[in-house]
């Protein structure tokens, strides 16, 4: 049996699979972040935010690195997609 996925015809299948994978990853990352040891809260309160470097250290003290990478990847994808779509005019 062949899995026939013509993206333009069955794009809802691809989008639902990607959406499910993203939601599953988000659930796992949230579950992991809920069980971070309590010591990180005192560490994050000890860091005083004065400039960009201390702000990044403060964020890294309580946000898991996987969430930071996910946010950065989403930001990069959004910027690249906007610049790519800006170069191609709509054809309606």
| Residue 82 confidence (pLDDT) | 87
Domain residue limits, the chain: 7-36, 38-92
Is the separation of the CB atoms in 67 and 59 below 8 Å?
no
Angstrom distance (rounded) from CA 74 to CA 68: 10
Supply 11's token pair: 């794009």
Supply 84's token pair: 């790519």
Angstrom distance (rounded) from CA 49 to CA 62: 14
| Residue 4 confidence (pLDDT) | 56
Is the separation of the CB atoms in 64 and 32 below 8 Å?
yes
| Residue 76 confidence (pLDDT) | 94
| Residue 44 confidence (pLDDT) | 60
Q: What is the largest CA-CA distance in the chain?
A: 61
Question: What pTM, to 2 d.p., does this model score?
Answer: 0.42
Sorted by sequence, the CB contacts under 8 Å of residue 32 that are 6+ apart come out as 64, 66
| Residue 23 confidence (pLDDT) | 92
The pLDDT tens digits along the chain (92 residues) read 455 555 566 777 778 889 999 999 888 888 877 776 666 666 666 767 788 888 888 788 778 888 888 889 999 999 998 888 887 877 65
| Residue 66 confidence (pLDDT) | 84
């Amino acid at each position: 049996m062949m899995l026939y996925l013509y993206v333009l015809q069955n794009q809802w299948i691809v989008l639902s699979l990607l959406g499910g994978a993203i939601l599953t990853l988000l659930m796992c990352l949230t579950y992991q972040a809920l069980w971070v040891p309590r010591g990180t809260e005192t560490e994050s309160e000890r860091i005083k935010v004065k400039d960009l470097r201390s702000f990044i250290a403060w964020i890294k003290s309580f946000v898991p690195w996987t969430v930071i990478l996910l946010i950065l990847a989403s930001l990069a994808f959004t910027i690249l997609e906007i610049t790519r779509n800006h170069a191609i005019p709509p054809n309606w």
